A and B are shown apart, each in its own frame.
Chain A
Amino acid sequence: MLTLARPSRNFARMSTSAISTRPPSRVASVLVWTLVAIAGAGALGFLALSRGEQVSAAWLLVAALCTYAIGYRFHSAFISARIFALDDARLTPAERLNDGRDFVPTNRWVVFGHHFAAIAGPGPLVGPTLAAQFGYLPGVLWIVVGVVLGGAVQDMVILCASIRRDGKSLGQMAKEEIGPVAGFTALVAVLGIMIVLIAVLALVVVNALKSSPWGTVTIGLTIPIAMLMGVYMRWLRPGRVLEATGIGIVLLVVALYAGRWVAEQPALAATFTLSGKTLALLVMAYGFAASVIPVWLLLAPRDYLSAFVKIGVVVALAIGILVALPPLQMPALTQFTDGTGPIFAGALFPFAFITIACGSISGFHALIASGTTPKLLERERDARFIGYGAMLMESFVAVMALIAACALTPGVYFAINAPAAALGPTVQTAAEAVAKWGFVVTPAELEQLAKQVGETSLLSRTGGAPSLAVGMAHLFSHSLGGSAAMALWYHFALMFEALFILTTLDAGTRVGRFMVQDLGRHLWEPFGRTGWMPAVFLSSAVIVAMWGHFLWQGVIDPLGGVNTLWPLFGISNQLLAAVALCVGTTIIVKMGKARHAWATLLPLAWLTLVTMSACLAKIFSAQPRLGFIAHAHMLQAARAAGTLPAGVKSAGDLARMVANDYLDAGVTAFFALSFVVVLADSAREWFAVISGAKAPRSTEVPFERRAAVAGD
């Protein structure tokens, strides 16, 4: 509403870029936005109040799109005009520092695509799928409200702050705006978060490929495909990225069929039917190799392929959902909101808000928004479209993932996602367990579905990837190819997800290696030399060992590991977001705009509440299935009594699980303490400025006016 009063200012930008050159009249504008608000509120209200009957996915789409439109039109305009006073006459870093390499003024649509491809990954696909255990309502509300008031605000504020500081990174800004303690804490926390992120994503891949020869062969083949592309771009046709990517995409389709062929040959299929432990070791070896071999050979080509595929999948998913408009089979709320759910432990508050991180608010985006993107913006006001807009798009991906999960019948959904300890070994025990939860699925249905998608079993394929793939296969085969194509679509979807994940995993391992080297440099200088092979090998081994430890712990966990690791990842990601919001708030306060700081303080307060409750619950809860320490005590009590709890194979495993529980509790406490340090340090700065003890002085690069150019 704030901006309605001054339409001329807001439409100035639109009139230069949009097709329409005349601003609509004020009455028409008020009318249109009132209608959007009514439609959005109506759809949300309908979703919230409908009970017992099936709801069409269309309601969810309308609710999401209307909320996004309102948020973009009003809240992002507020941040753009009132907080940062973004000004197209001000030179951007891309223009002032243009070097033709890192700093390059780039068309806003291209930057949007680039930024979106960088922020979107497996996170918004997996989180909402897992959170569907509470029903569709908590997920959709948190995704659309959280993004509009939190996630998109964070991305945009950090992007604006970075643009005004020559593209400085989040760590640098934390150090300069808040203080050296906060800066160092943020740096170490980022490394910790990276380790947990890689471990949980690796676990998702391992769980998706376990005992699946088709999937294993297809995903395995993507590695030589990427290397072939690398060789092509290096020696055969240097720099011809698009040709190589085109070849890569064709080969991906070949790999899909090759996987099916292998799965149909009994002898070969047996060779590629791998256990979780073997796959975990292979993934670790892959991460290590990606970190030490030259980037042109594996990382870069895989990244190009993945970026293309990512955009393709998002478009395909959107088309699939729009064509099918499936009814949501999942109820609005399930009985698991009380914390008894089989997929992950913990009640609706705070764990729905932890499980869905990417899609609502994701701290990792602050690293991107203060990384490559601010060095590309052609005009300051593009920060609204790119910072706020691209995050809305990611949120929409999360909504689609939620729809795909909730379009499955709940019985099937829980049979795929619940751990083996809850379902038992056979389709019969699984059907009984699901019936106890109040949902219906027959053993025959489960067998039939597994056969349709070309797997021996779909039971307890935890991690969200297989159930999303089943959901997508349902949607696609509904519109294209019929049920005969189901198996191909399923493995197609699985391949895409694994491709995104491995791209994050290999790039993350390499970045982690540089961070380890950078920290280790202070202890022993030669360790920091990025070109010295012993240091490269040692630091890569250190980082792989760190995430590998969590991965291994997840693989041997009888509850499936995702159970423990995903909440840990959610907590760390949300805490990074809270750190980014601390930085953003400090910057806003120091600009002398403390009265507008509610825009970042509101999501910061919510995240503080959510993450601190979750940390306390994970560490201190008396329930063994929720609290790490209580779980360790339960295991120790079992050992003292001379018994082994269900699913634990040996006394050695039990001792390891106890140690891991304490480690997890320690890691959680470390994240929580890091955040408290940053928050306290920031709050000190805010009060110093607000009380007048310190002059509000912005550290922005001074205003420099662009010389008028024709066409502006």
Chain B
Amino acid sequence: MRFFSRSLVARIASIGAVFRRIIGAPDYEGYLTHLAARHPEITPLSREAFARDALVRRYDRPGSRCC
């Protein structure tokens, strides 16, 4: 598997990324990767602006939390 061929730091980072996405934290690195791959012409938002924007959209509709 790809996972075990990487360095320890990279492995810990990838576990961290999994946890971040499970708890629904904004994934800034993923966003940068996405823009670089698909829309290289767009200047990405800063980390702060991205996090701010992600939070606003997370809490403005029903269906983000349940009983």
Contacts and interface: CB of A to CB of B under 8 A. Distances in A.
Interface of A: 98-102, 104, 106-107, 109-110, 113-114, 117-123, 169-170, 190, 194, 197, 201, 233, 238-239, 241-242, 245, 295-296, 299-300, 303-304, 307-308, 311, 357-358, 362, 364-365, 367-368, 370-372, 503-504, 507-508, 510-511, 514-515, 530, 573
A304 B26 CA distance: 11
A371 B35 contact: no
Interface string B36-67: 00100000000110111111111111111111
Contacts of B57: 101-102
B23 interface: yes
Return the 9 tightest CB-CB contacts between A and B, nearest first: A371-B63, A100-B34, A123-B67, A113-B22, A367-B63, A241-B25, A307-B23, A100-B31, A507-B65
A245 B25 CA distance: 11
A181 B58 CA distance: 28
B66 A123 contact: yes
A238 B55 contact: no
12 contacts: A104-B27, A114-B23, A118-B64, A238-B47, A239-B26, A242-B16, A295-B56, A303-B23, A308-B23, A358-B67, A364-B66, A370-B63
A503 B23 contact: no
Given A362-B66, A364-B67, A507-B64, A245 B23 contact: yes
Given A368-B66, A504-B66, A299 B59 contact: yes
Contact of A239 (B47, B53, B60, B66): B47
B60 A169 contact: no
B67 A197 contact: yes
Interface of B: 16, 18-28, 30-31, 33-35, 38, 47-48, 50-67
A311 B56 CA distance: 25
B30 A100 contact: yes
B55 A296 contact: yes
A365 B18 CA distance: 23
Contacts of B48: 238-239
Given A362-B66, A511-B61, 18 more contacts: A98-B38, A100-B33, A100-B34, A110-B21, A114-B21, A190-B62, A238-B47, A242-B25, A295-B59, A296-B51, A296-B55, A300-B55, A300-B59, A304-B23, A307-B23, A358-B67, A364-B66, A507-B65
B63 to A, nearest CB: 3
A295 B67 contact: no
A597 B25 CA distance: 38
Given A101-B31, A110-B21, A238-B48, A504 B54 contact: no
Identify which of B25, B26, B65 gathers the most chain A CB atoms within 10 Å of its CB: B65
Contacts of B52: 296
A102 to B, nearest CB: 7
Nearest to B27: A104
A514 B21 contact: no
A365 B66 contact: yes
Nearest to A307: B23
Identify which of A99, A123, A245, A300 gathers the most chain B CB atoms within 10 Å of its CB: A300
A299 B65 CA distance: 11
A242 B19 contact: yes
Contacts of B59: 295, 299-300, 507, 510-511
Contact of B35 (A100, A238, A573): A100
A504 B22 CA distance: 17
Contact of B66 (A107, A121, A311): A121
Identify which of B16, B18, B25, B28 gathers the most chain A CB atoms within 10 Å of its CB: B25
Nearest to A197: B67
Contacts of A311: 22
B44 to A, nearest CB: 9
B54 A122 contact: no
Contacts of A233: 51
Contacts of B58: 295, 300
Nearest to B18: A110
B9 to A, nearest CB: 14
Contacts of B51: 233, 238-239, 296
B67 A121 contact: yes
Given A114-B22, A114-B24, A307-B22, A194 B65 contact: no
A362 B61 contact: no
A117 B63 CA distance: 12
Nearest to B38: A98
Nearest to A122: B67
A503 B58 CA distance: 14
Nearest to B20: A241
B24 A307 contact: yes
A117 B67 contact: no
Contacts of B28: 239
A372 B47 CA distance: 21
A358 B64 CA distance: 16
A86 to B, nearest CB: 22
Contact of A303 (B24, B35, B63): B24
Contacts of B23: 114, 117, 241, 245, 303-304, 307-308
Contacts of A102: 57
A514 B66 contact: no
B63 A368 contact: yes
A201 B67 contact: yes
B61 A371 contact: yes
A444 B65 CA distance: 42
B22 to A, nearest CB: 4
B41 to A, nearest CB: 14
A304 B65 contact: no
Contacts of B21: 106, 110, 114
Nearest to B44: A100
A575 to B, nearest CB: 14
